[in-house]
Structure 1
Amino acid sequence: MKHPEHRGSIFVEDAEILSQDAFPGKQYILRLQAPRCAARARPGQFVHLTVDPQRPMRRPISIMRAHPGEGWIDLLYKEVGEGTALLARRKAGEIISNLGPIGQPFQVSRKRPLLMGGGVGMPPMLFVAESLKDSDRQPLVILGSEVPFPFTPRPSEIMVPGIPDGIIATLPLLDDWGIACRLTSGQDMPGVHQGYVTDLARHWLNTLDDEAKNEVEVLACGPHPMLEAVVALAREFDLPVQVSLEEFMACGVGGCAGCAVEVQTENGPSMQRVCVDGPVFDGYRVF
């Protein structure tokens, strides 16, 4: 049980909506003024939002960016049900109850983190990338989406040895940070790899020598089938791997255990709560 170490680190705030921008595919980027959360947020953590005053059940959403100095957090979400549909109607200036930051964050320990995000699993990867932009790490970010990306891709100015010629589309913000990024999709888009994030990652990994491979670790967030494929890829190349799981949640703070998943431990299988024991887990212990 991890309640004690979370006491004093999760805050309830009346967060003001600073902006809400809509993108194709019913995707939205929501910026909230939530200074207590912004000051503590770490890559991989999430918030639990009350989407509407008449709907007491909160919704978990990963944190994409946090600015401790200005006190805001950015959230990317997709409208998939009644709750997120209500959230999409909220306007700038309105107040939302924000509970967070919640959960175990990603831990980066190697020189070449390979960050893979799919769909609404992209935000934690952006947060990790931003945390590394002034470090000596050399991350490669691979983002995949089956709907149009919630940004306008542009040709990257950063060359990535091992990436096929012509695969040059990137997320502009990452390029501006000096972080290498490439995009994948099942759709045919200019400069975008047509296929899965793991396909492009495998191509890149196969070009590395043994010394470079020993500097790689894998961090990923996305739908369950993608994470299963990511862990299989990490196993193929004998790489450490962390995954952030997506689960339905009720309380979001470990009380109800409704988000429990089976995790392998030294003492055998254990049911652990995605909200506070995760959402980030060692990939080999989950898959």
Structure 2
Amino acid sequence: MSKLNRGTICVEDAEVLEHRAYADDQYVLRLLAPDCAARAIAGSFAHVRCSEEVPMRRPLSIMRARADEGWIEVLYKVVGHGLQRLAEAQPGDRISMLGPIGNGFTVDKQRTTALMIGGGVGIPPLIFLAEQIAATNAPVNAVAMLGSEIPFPFELVDSQIALDGSPASATASLECLERIGTPSRLATNAGYPGCYAGFVTDLSREWLQSLPEEERATVQVYSCGPGPMLYAVEKLASEFGLPTQLCLEEYMACAVGGCAGCAVEIHTPDGPAMKRVCVDGPVFAGDTVYPDLA
């Protein structure tokens, strides 16, 4: 994984530039945070103070960063009092934040297909990763399989990018990925039009099974989402012998490694060890998170 340099974590009094509301209490927040924007990588996050009355910050994955314009975007769903207060923020308001924090995804250029599997509010780091791959002209083809059981908080379009092997029923894609040439397909059990009817891992399995063996051997899996989904992703990848990088989501207090409140068990060559998701992660090799599936 890309290594964290603690000297790159910035404290910023960020200005709210845009705050867009979507169905089911989902929001996309754009913040003017030039220092964070200049250093952010796919998989890193910002630790945001929701209001002056709520001292505990919230970790929010960075979905986009524009160093030239000095802003970052995060997606969140309102859960609890803190994020409810954040949802009240208006353009021009100031928000205290730390960032970027964490080790991000590492693009393996020896594996020329990046399969990105995301679920819910775990989708943002994968959008960032797709944009990074496109911007650097890396010799890697990105493919996104994304799932949600509530309306996707993005503009959806009928995909104009062919993706051989994807189910015919899966026609919808994210406009933001379509724009950069990254094919995406969507999955849900909620019956949304243009989406595959089922779990995102089932959609991914159908596509992987359609690939010739030599092409499937070029795939590297990147994933972020809820724990049960990540377990299913690792299980799927192990069936096909594919390496994974998993971006974990955990509650945390300090987010800079001091409190160890976000520690999880990671399996190393020397045995199990407690690692902090904030600074040792949030991205880990999947076989170190779920060694029973390796």
Same fold (TM over 0.5): yes
Letter of the 1:220 counterpart: S
Kindly provide the CA deviation profile for residues 119-155 of structure 1, in whole angstroms up to 9, marking residues without a partner as x: 0000001000001114231111011111001023110
Residue 267 of structure 2 aligns with an amino acid whose one-letter code is Q
Whether 1:129 aligns to 2:138 is no
2:122 maps to a residue whose letter is G
Could you tell me how far apart the structure 1 residues matched to 2:6 and 2:204 are? 38
- Of 276, 279, 285 in structure 2, the residue corresponding to residue 282 of structure 1 is 285
% identity of equivalent residues: 52
What's the secondary structure of 2:49's corresponding residue?
A: strand
Matches within 5 A, 1:224-243: 224-243=227-246
Equivalent position SS for 1:51: coil
- Report the AA paired with residue 246 of structure 1: E
Counterpart Cα distance in 2 of 1:188 and 1:5 = 41
Aligned twin of 2:168: 165
Preserved contact between residue 43 and residue 283 of structure 2 (Cα < 8 Å):
yes
Q: Does 1:141 align with 2:114?
A: no
Query: Does residue 112 in structure 1 map to residue 108 in structure 2?
Result: no
- For residue 7 of structure 1, report the CA deviation from its aligned partner: 2.9
* 1:43-96 deviations in Å (ceiling 9; x for gaps): 000010010012111000000000000000000000011111010001110000
Q: Could you tell me which amino acid in structure 1 is paired with residue 87 of structure 2? A: A
Q: Secondary structure at the match of 1:164?
A: coil
Measured after TM superposition, the shift of residue 166 of structure 1 is 2.8
Offset of residue 177 of structure 1: 0.8
| Partner amino acid, structure 1, of 2:6 | R
Alpha-carbon separation, structure 2, partners of 1:245 and 1:7 = 19
Cα deviation, residue 229, structure 1: 0.2
2:207 aligned counterpart, secondary structure: helix
> Secondary structure of the residue that 2:210 maps to in structure 1?
coil
Structure 1: runs of 5 or more not aligned: none
Structure 2 spans left out of the alignment, 5+ residues: none
Kindly tell me: are residues 243 and 5 of structure 1, through their superposed partners in 2, closer, same or farther at Cα, counting changes over 3 Å? closer
Moved over 4 A (4+): none
Q: Which residue of 2 aligns with 1:95?
A: 94
Equivalent residue runs for 1:54-93 within 5 Å? 54-93=53-92
Q: SS state of the match for residue 30, structure 1?
A: strand
2:154 corresponds to 1:151: yes
Tell me the residue number matched to 2:201: 198
- One-letter code aligned to 1:20: H
* Counterpart for residue 216 of structure 1: 219
Count, aligned residues: 284
Shift of 1:6: 2.9
TM-score if structure 1 supplies the norm length?
Answer: 0.97
Shift of 1:284: 0.8
Secondary structure of the corresponding residue to residue 52 of structure 1? coil
